[in-house]
Chain A
Amino acid sequence: DAKTTQPPSMDCAEGRAANLPCNHSTISGNEYVYWYRQIHSQGPQYIIHGLKNNETNEMASLIITEDRKSSTLILPHATLRDTAVYYCSDPQTSGSRLTFGEGTQLTVNP
Chain B
Amino acid sequence: DAGVIQSPRHEVTEMGQEVTLRCKPISGHNSLFWYRQTMMRGLELLIYFNNNVPIDDSGMPEDRFSAKMPNASFSTLKIQPSEPRDSAVYFCASSYGGAGALFFGSGTQLSVL
**Inter-subunit contact B43/A96 (CB<8 Å):** no
Please provide the chain A residues from 24 to 81 with a CB less than 8 Å away from any CB of chain B in the complex. 32, 34, 36, 41-46, 49
**Inter-subunit contact B98/A43 (CB<8 Å):** no
Given contacts A32-B99, A44-B43, A46-B101, contact A95 B55 (CB under 8 A): yes
Q: Which of B48, B91, B103, B107 contacts A95 (CB 8 A)?
A: B48
Whole-angstrom distance between the Cβ of A4 and the nearest chain B Cβ: 12
Query: Residue of A at shortest CB range from B97?
Result: A96
Q: How far is the CA of A45 from the CA of B93 in the complex (A)?
A: 10
**Inter-subunit contact A43/B99 (CB<8 Å):** no
The interface centre, meaning the residue of B42, B43, B45, B95 with most chain A CB atoms within 10 A of its CB, is B43
Please provide the chain B residues from 21 to 69 with a CB less than 8 Å away from any CB of chain A in the complex. 31, 33, 42-43, 45, 48, 50, 55-56
* Cβ–Cβ < 8 Å partners of A44 in chain B: 43, 91, 93, 102, 104
The interface centre, meaning the residue of A42, A96, A99, A100 with most chain B CB atoms within 10 A of its CB, is A96
Please provide the chain B residues from 73 to 100 with a CB less than 8 Å away from any CB of chain A in the complex. 91, 93, 95, 97-100
Given contacts A95-B56, A97-B56, contact A42 B101 (CB under 8 A): no
In this assembly, does B13 line the interface, its C-beta being within 8 Å of a C-beta of chain A?
Answer: no
Query: Residue of B at shortest CB range from A47?
Result: B101
Given contacts A44-B91, A100-B43, A102-B42, contact A95 B106 (CB under 8 A): no
* Cβ–Cβ < 8 Å partners of B42 in chain A: 100-103
**Inter-subunit contact A43/B91 (CB<8 Å):** yes
Q: Which of A36, A93, A101 contacts B99 (CB 8 A)?
A: A93
> Which B residues are within 8 Å of any A CB, using their own CB?
4, 31, 33, 42-43, 45, 48, 50, 55-56, 91, 93, 95, 97-107
